[in-house]
Amino acid sequence: MGASETNEARAVALHADVIVDAMRRGLELARRGPARGVNPQVGCVILAADGTVLAEGWHRGAGTAHAETDALSQLGPGAAAGSTAVVTLEPCNHTGRTGPCAQALLDAGVSRVVYSVDDPGQRSRGGADRLRSAGVDVSSGVLRSEGEALLGDWLTTARLGRPIVTAKWAQSLDGRAAAADGTSQWVTGPDARADVHARRAAADAIGVGTGTLLSDDPSLTARTSSGELYPTQPVPVVFGHREIPDSAAVRHHPHALVHLPGDDLAADLVGLHALGIRSLFLEGGPALISSFLTAGLVDEYLVYIAPVLLGGPHTALTDIGVGSISDARRLTVDDVHTLGDDLLIVAHPKGHA
């Protein structure tokens, strides 16, 4: 290889290193934005032809400038012409509270766009194709695994178009959620209950049916073992048509109650997703969880099993549309935990990623 070829190869390698370094910086910037809500965390770095950083930006939350627009806003007219935009997520291609980032990059004269993760949104994706059709050099997949890890559940919910649904219930060894007289406090012990509350605190929303709400009057909060509220609380969601009394404990929740009819659970989930809810923690009762299960809308199961026998009619699930063993809803067990005297089985529908 001649000297000129060696220098050219080094220049290409250096350029690749510059792009990777800029993407790492973009991921750092993205983490400054809110981790929850309807929008993803996104960072952007604008590079000059020689690799100099011209501007940086990140998304600060719903209704604010997207990362690309935020970075471009720091440059004067024409300053971005011929530059490279390094973005952690494919530039969006739709108009919401803000305009499409793909068009903003075109208007600024950016000649190259490099991004980490493809946008899976039905409305927002397509920015890469729009840019390519206008003559912009576009490449993707730089630090993809890091980009996907950053986006986390936003990426999953964007692909699903709804929140991730976790169904939780506690039961006796013989599959009962309550004794014959209806009492259910407490089927499981304190270690299991503490685990439940920690998982509540990690969820965006917690859901119950009106039957459970009216019979048990739950507060739907996440509390520590000492009874104090966790710093983060799930939004309370109640499914069903029956009225919720003004005196209900859930009326005193730190977040406003979301009351949904429950007639079309898939549509209800789309509505929750539009509110920025990425994860829904279903607490019951058996009828509501069975309805979600039957509709194929449960992504994860948390089954707390106490070493007690109760008998009686109060089963943990109701009819789930299984008429024969061939119709059984098969699960894949992901983990088994011992919590005091109880067991926690974590599982997901077989064949469901």
Q: Are 19 and 141 in contact (CB under 8 A)?
A: no
Q: What are phi and psi of 169, to 5 degrees?
A: -150, 160
**Closest C-alpha among 273, 258, 269, 281 to residue 210:** 258
Start-to-end Cα distance in the chain: 48
**Closest C-alpha among 124, 29, 136, 32 to residue 80:** 136
Residues of the chain with CATH 3.40.430.10: 162-349
Active-site positions read: 68
Q: Are 104 and 131 in contact (CB under 8 A)?
A: no
Q: Can you name the CATH fold of 162-349?
A: Dihydrofolate Reductase, subunit A (3.40.430)
The rounded distance, in Å, linking the Cα atoms of 105 and 45 is: 12
Other C-beta atoms closer than 10 Å to the C-beta of 182 total 12
Residues of the chain with CATH 3.40.140.10: 3-158
pLDDT number for residue 122: 67
Q: Which CA distances in Å does 135 have to 14, 77, 153, 303?
A: 24, 20, 33, 53
Provide the whole-model pTM: 0.82
pLDDT number for residue 105: 96
pLDDT of the chain, 353 residues: tens digit per residue: 444 444 333 334 447 899 999 999 999 999 999 988 888 999 999 999 989 999 999 999 888 899 999 999 999 999 999 999 999 999 998 777 777 899 999 999 999 999 999 998 766 778 999 999 999 999 999 999 999 999 988 999 988 999 999 999 999 999 999 988 887 878 999 999 999 999 999 999 999 999 999 988 999 999 998 889 999 999 999 999 999 999 999 999 999 999 999 999 999 999 999 898 999 999 988 999 999 999 999 999 999 999 999 999 999 999 998 989 999 999 999 999 999 999 999 999 997 76
The rounded distance, in Å, linking the Cα atoms of 137 and 269 is: 38
Q: Which CATH class is domain 3-158?
A: alpha beta
